[in-house]
Structure 1
Amino acid sequence: MTMSEKLPVQAQSVALQRDSFVIFLFLALSLFGVMQGFLSAAIPFVRDAQGLSTFLVGWLFSFYALGRLSSGFLSSHLISRGAGIPAIRLTAIGLMSAMALTWASQSVFTSFFLSFLVGIFGGTLQALVQSQIATLPEKSRSLAISEGYTWASVGVFLFPAVTGWFVSQGLPWVCALGLPLISLILVIFVNPRSYAAPKAKQLSSSKLTGTVFIFWMLFFSINVMEWGVGLWWPIFLQETHHLTTAEAVSLMSIYFGSTLVGRALNVRLVRWIEADTLFIMYLGVATAAVLTVLLAPSISTIIPALAFAGAAIGCFYPSNLATAMKYVPEEIRRISSGSANCSGLAMLSIPPMLGLVGKNSSVSVSIVLLVMVPIIMAGLLLFARRLSSLKKVSPNLETEAPLKT
């Protein structure tokens, strides 16, 4: 008896047909990833060129977050009107234009506006691509999401690396914009085949089901973890273990590098294990890793915990999206658009909220709050699973008592 014969049907290895349509979607996600790397790499140069204070740099980030928040409404409108490949290409062109014009900006107000455009085009591009992934055969979606966001992670890491290399060679940082330009050219000229997606059962657009709201809460929580860890762990390591800024940042590179490793590993695991099961596993690993960092007596203990935390947290987003496509495939367009709203809202609220907690008590209290987040997420995920199983028994369960938008 072969291995596939021993496994239950839902756990059998799945395959993904990487045709021009799928490659096109992956290229678009790589451009989205480059955009995220652009934020961390380009803002210091924009600050130096315009002489911006730390306060104004914070506003650059806030305008980007406002753009991500607004992208949920724009992408929802576009998706409801059947936007597809042309809309992805136009959005990609808008994103590239906003990033390129950031270099030429001469005033802080122009920079604010361009940051907003980067946010709204980037968030819309992500939501449009996700809506197209939802048209793939059901058994291929989880794998497509895992691979697509691995491509995005490569983009996140490549742009800062390429920027650093150009600057080290005495060249201006703007030369690194050649990387997203290459991605854009490929997105424009790759000719994806037309894909005849199976028709999904559509729910009334005026009703918001409990399961959709749960997945929005999960997306918000994922952003809490990503931004909370990325922003506050270096400060926690400095204060608790008396590290220099350079030492703390170097340690965090282990965490960020592990997110890419985790997503690459997830591509293999999702072939054999259901996305929701993997999600629960990642939540458990993340909880243990964050708790270890909080309580670890030495740096030697923290280093492996950082690696495990990065690998697990890096898989949160694609695992949640794949789980949503499994539980409520007919609502994935609404969930995808709402995830952009959740990202923007989390970016606007979580950093100052954790900062306020740290100011009034200690940074350690902020880390304790982060320990609780994956535990709450596990509860939400199990509740969504319960609703999904009940809906299979009674299809009208959630539509009988909907939440109003």
Structure 2
Amino acid sequence: MAICWASVLLGIGAEWGIGFWGAQFLEGRLGLGPAPAVSLMSVFFGGTVFGRVVSSRLLAKFDGRAMLLAATLLGSGAIFTLWASSVPAVTIAALALAGMCLGNFFPLLISNAVRLEPGYVQLISVGATQAVGISLLAIPIVLGYIGQVAGLINAIGMLTILPLLMAAACLAAGYRHALPHKA
């Protein structure tokens, strides 16, 4: 259960790290003014909505675990591309892809947790609510601190590791669940 909690914390942290600091990142990376940078963040949030619509359709055909793994790898790659690119078109495409992938972490993580522990739906819900709240509070603050020390562009680049840690936690949860339980 704790591993699923950590997965939600990391996934939400990656999503809202970009959601919270993305406009300032775009100002620094692309040299935009504040208003255009904030407006451009609609690409990220639009990607989130689009990704959830597409994901809801794909879940009828594909296993949620495979979709979570794909969203995690693509999302991490999108964050890396967002961080590495100074080409506006590539940065905007990476921003949209990041939104499409990271916006799916929460629903796919909850689906995976319920699949692993179907008798604990209420506890999963409570834990996920706590993890989201802590993540929304802590990750932007930590990212801001790292941004002061290493620069915001580098701090955003460090978000690349959160989905990878989340994927490791999900794999560990699945592995732990697959082990025979002793009575």
Asked if these proteins are the same fold (TM beyond 0.5), I'd say yes
Is 1:376 the counterpart of 2:162? The answer is no
The separation in 2 between residues aligned to 1:378 and 1:289, in whole angstroms, is 15
Aligned counterpart, 1:347 = 136
Any conservation in 1 of the 2:15–2:99 contact (CA below 8 Å)?
no
Q: Matched residue of 1:297: which SS?
A: coil
Query: In structure 2, what is the equivalent of residue 276 of structure 1?
Result: 65
Task: Identify the residue that residue 152 of structure 2 maps to in structure 1.
Answer: 363
- Once residues 266 and 347 of structure 1 are traced to their aligned partners in structure 2, the CA distance between those partners, rounded to angstroms, is 23
1:345 offset after TM fit, Å?
1.4
- Amino acid in structure 2 at the alignment position of 1:358: G
Matched, 1:326 2:115: yes
Cα distance in 2 for residues equivalent to 1:301 and 1:329: 41
Higher relative contact order (CA 8 A, sep 6+): 2
What amino acid maps onto 2:113 in structure 1? A
Indicate the RMSD between aligned Cα atoms, in angstroms.
Answer: 1.3
Once superposed, which parts of structure 1, at least 4 consecutive aligned residues long, lie more than 3 Å away? none
Deviations 1:221-241 (Å, cap 9, x if unpaired)?
122112201111211110122
The count of aligned residue pairs is 183
After superposition, what is the alpha-carbon deviation per residue over 1:323-363, rounded to whole angstroms, capped at 9, x for unaligned? 11111111222121011111221222222211111112200
* 1:261 maps to 2:50: yes
Give the greater-gyration-radius structure (CA).
1
Match of 1:227 in 2: 16
State the distance in 2 between where 1:349 and 1:307 align.
24
Contact 2:26–2:32 (CA under 8 A) maintained in structure 1 = yes
In the TM superposition, what is the alpha-carbon distance from 1:366 to its structure 2 partner? 1.2
Whole-angstrom CA distance in 2 between matches of 1:284 and 1:347: 22
Deviations 1:10-47 (A, max 9, x none): xxxxxxxxxxxxxxxxxxxxxxxxxxxxxxxxxxxxxx
Contact 2:76 2:163 in 1 (8 A): yes
Q: Secondary structure at the match of 2:148?
A: helix
Q: Does 1:305 align with 2:94?
A: yes
Deviation at 1:306, TM superposition (A): 1.2
Looking at structure 2, the residues matched to 301 and 275 of structure 1 have their Cα atoms a distance apart, in angstroms, of 28
Aligned match for 1:238, one of 24, 27, 30: 27
Check whether the contact 2:44–2:95 (CA below 8 A) recurs between aligned residues: yes
Post-superposition CA distance 1:44-63 (Å, at most 9, x none): xxxxxxxxxxxxxxxxxxxx
Structure 2 unpaired stretches of 5+? none
- The aligned amino acid for 2:181 is P
- Structure 1 length as normaliser, TM-score? 0.44
Tell me the TM-score normalized by structure 2: 0.95
